[in-house]
Structure 1
Amino acid sequence: MIRLENLNKAFHFRGQQKVVADNLNLTFPSGVSVGLLGRNGAGKSTLLRMIAGSIEPDSGRIRTSGTISWPVGLAGGFHQDLTGSQNVRFIARVYGVDTEELLYFVESFAELGIHFHQPVRTYSSGMRARLGFGVSMGIPFDTYLVDEVTSVGDENFRVKAQALFKERMRNAGAIVVTHAPPMMRQMCEAGAVLVDGRLHYFDDVGDAIAYHFEVMRQQNLARKSLE
């Protein structure tokens, strides 16, 4: 369970304010995979980071139960001068899981070949995504935070990543940021839409997708009327 209580977050840049969370009060239920939609710049990744604890809200709080992953796909947590395997060893120690088992799982899943033993700073964005997804899915969490990672890579990797995600969802929940409605339908049961700092929750993922497109249509019409 993840509960947002009177959550507020805004950024100020060049005299303008960007509101990410405007007094949000919402509960993400345990064991449910929720797709998070919103137009570019809405603040979806920032919301994931707040839930993960890597960004502090301006006010309000987030209550959680169970274990929560870091935002998969946002691989900034890796030490760039360590190799992929060294990063995996470090994370295994932090989370108290078997180091050798996690190493074997990630190396087999990510298919990085010799790059697994090279510094992460030499990786492409796709290679970092493979490493991050493999490490996260190799550790049992009650809730997984996923930011677009399964859209990275070739078709074979996407299919494998989605299959692994579905397997993990048998015993866990997730909040998944994606811009691909077909993928969201495959991966998620429910949906939420972030619009101008407000979060709208739908028990049916199809309703969330329909609402998202309607909001996009109305915003585009409003923008054209001002041109």
Structure 2
Amino acid sequence: MHFVIMGCGRTGSTLAQMVEDRGHTVAVVDQNANAFRRLGPHFEGRRVVGPGFDRDTLTEAGIEDAYAFAAVSNGDNSNILAARVARETFGVSNVVARIYDPGRAEVYQRLGIPTVATVRWTADQMARRLLPAGAISEFRDPSGAVVIAEVQVHAGWVGRRMASLEAASAARVAFLTRLGEGLVPGADTVYQEGDLVHFVLRHDQLTSVEQKMAVAPSKDEL
């Protein structure tokens, strides 16, 4: 598959190399030709100089055959404009734009343009490492109603099935992190010591779920 990436900063160059390493073709667009040095000598994709929202530039980058387009320049306006051109003019369905302003990111998400709010994401990641486990959600849908959150589970739950955790918390276990690897559990998957449990739930349930999982199960919670 072919990918077009606008912006050859640290994010764009890293993304381009990751995609190419997975066996796909890549074209990187940037207005500054010197930026392509970040790609390194082994990058085999196209380097296209020009504005990423210009139709001729995008055509040169192969946008007409692109499976996906990523706008990761340093400008919110440029990223959104380029994302809209890729989607509305060239019909690319897989489009994502990096946005620094979290307020704008939410607006564009609701308009159907997937965005990554860099500042909000970074702040969330830092807060998750500073605050107690589960206090900060890992994912929040654009409406803010549904979240995925890592919730600290009392050691007394070791040996209990996921079905028991879900029944007690009234929430669903989305996945586990076990020995550094992600795991999608079934109802009979047993909670083991060291597991990190990630629940998907309504945002207004988070405090309740944290409180229920912070204590050992009662005898009738199988």
TM-score under structure 1 length normalisation: 0.31
TM-score under structure 2 length normalisation: 0.32
Q: Which has the higher contact order (CA 8 A, sep 6+)?
A: 1
